[in-house]
Amino acid sequence: MSAALVQKATETQLDQPPEVGVAQLATISLLLQYDIDNTLNALKEHKKMTLDARLGGELPVAVNNNQDKDINRNLSEQTELEEDLGLKSRESAFMPPTPPATPNLQSTAQKRWKILAKVLRKDSEETVSSSSDEFAEEQTASVRRFKSFDLLRQDSFEDHVSLKCLGKTENWYKYRMQLENESEYSVNIHHMERQLTASDLMGFNNTGNICVWPSEEALTALVLSEVASYRGKWILELGGGFTSLAGLMLAKYATPYAVHLTDGNEISVENVRKTVCLNELSCYTKCSVLKWQEKCARSQAEQAKFDFILCADCLFFDEARSALVDTIWYYLAPEGSALIMAPRRGRTLSVFQDECVARGFRVELATRYNETIWQRHLQLKADSALYDEDLHYPLLLRLCKSHS
């Protein structure tokens, strides 16, 4: 496949101006990086599962030894190819160390994290009951009182044969979304086996490890409702959490040119890599750790490359907001569009909007961007005492680079 791409590009260059040929070669080089990255992930994941199966007594030792030799040989060949292409430094740049915990959280944010920690210790996603005097004050700070717009259905995974090489059956789920046009979309999602603790929640980049937030659900519904717009495009998802649901759905159904799924948390990215292994995607798809504040870790090959950037509910912390704006500017193509989905949360959204304008973006704010979500929003406002529009209804910001 890669050789065919290079041959095709070489033939095309004969009929193109020099600068066009250089751009084509740069694109091919980037796609080779995507391809090698995914091949390595699949090989490493398969080796890990093979070793786990051996320890569990599920596979004969003789067979395992032969498989290990084949896998080690493949990994060695891939490593040599990485070194030839100069990808070792790129990989280390994409995997910087985890930053220290975000300091000086405001009292409301601290209460939210305490609620989440208690929920996780109870091994449940349900909000702690407000009838308890112990949690009465903290309950007012919880953003999990409202869980979703009921557009996603989560089912147990059915294909147990495929799961034998990718982990435990009980950790895999099929996420389904049916839109108003009666089209149904689904992806296979791996749930992390690792039990989260309160300490896991202390960094700014860990929120996506907990659940699928309403903004992510709304963003997924939005992009699927206009799925044809993403055909043949470069797509980047920022802060995708443990599912990167919107980007993953587009990688499967939109036939884009390439999709890059990123998050600032290593645990989330590791989980998305497992997920990618068990979905039939329609394009080059890459998973990476990307910390917005670390400019030196940004890929020069991907600067101004992406036609669409997706981002759901990533405006929690003041410390990360400016870095997010700068990251979007760096990766967005001159004629590209960034879709930012987030609730108002007081002045949080408006402050982010102001920073985008100051950076040079043209910003459009949309309230009624999807009719299904809008009608569900109106119903919840009328019927649910737990639904708070300021905290729970995601608004859509469309960012484009301004041109003089």
Q: What is the pLDDT of residues 302-344, one digit of tens each?
A: 999 999 999 999 987 778 899 999 999 999 999 999 999 999 9
Determine the average pLDDT of the residues in 98-119. Answer: 44
pLDDT given for residue 9 in this prediction: 46
pLDDT given for residue 149 in this prediction: 86
322: helix, coil or strand?
A: helix
Question: pLDDT band for position 134 (50/70/90)?
Answer: very low
What is the average pLDDT score of the chain?
74
> What's the Rg (C-alpha) of the chain?
22
Contact (Cβ atoms closer than 8 angstroms) between residue 205 and residue 229: no
- Torsion sign across C-alpha atoms 22, 25, 26, 27: positive
pLDDT given for residue 114 in this prediction: 54
* Residue 308 resides in a domain: yes
Lowest mean pLDDT among 8-12, 94-98, 117-121, 291-295: 94-98
Angle at 247 between CA 198 and CA 169, to 5 degrees: 60
* Residue 243 resides in a domain: yes
Flag whether pLDDT at 60 surpasses 50. no
Query: pLDDT over 90 for what percent of the chain?
Result: 42
* Residue 272 resides in a domain: yes
* Residue 81 resides in a domain: no
Q: How far apart are CA 243 and CA 189, in angstroms?
A: 7
Determine the average pLDDT of the residues in 146-150. Answer: 79
For 286, the token pair is: 């890459």
CATH of the domain at 249: 3.40.50.150
* Residue 230 resides in a domain: yes
Flag whether pLDDT at 171 surpasses 90. no
Q: How far apart are CA 90 and CA 298, in angstroms?
A: 9
Q: Which residue has the tokens 């090989």?
A: 43
Distances (CA, A) of 271 to 48, 201, 243: 14, 17, 8
Range of the domain at 289: 206-401
* Residue 231 resides in a domain: yes
Provide the 10 A C-beta neighbour count for residue 352: 22
Distances (CA, A) of 123 to 96, 196, 203, 270, 378: 30, 9, 20, 21, 32
Please count the CA atoms within 13 angstroms of the CA of 76 that sit on its side-chain side. Answer: 6
* Residue 337 resides in a domain: yes
* Residue 338 resides in a domain: yes
Flag whether pLDDT at 108 surpasses 70. no
At 356-400, the pLDDT tens digits run: 999 999 999 999 999 989 999 999 999 988 899 999 999 999 999
Angle at 336 between CA 335 and CA 337, to 5 degrees: 130
At 257-282, the pLDDT tens digits run: 999 999 999 989 999 998 898 888 99
How many domains does the structure of the chain reveal? 1
pLDDT given for residue 50 in this prediction: 63
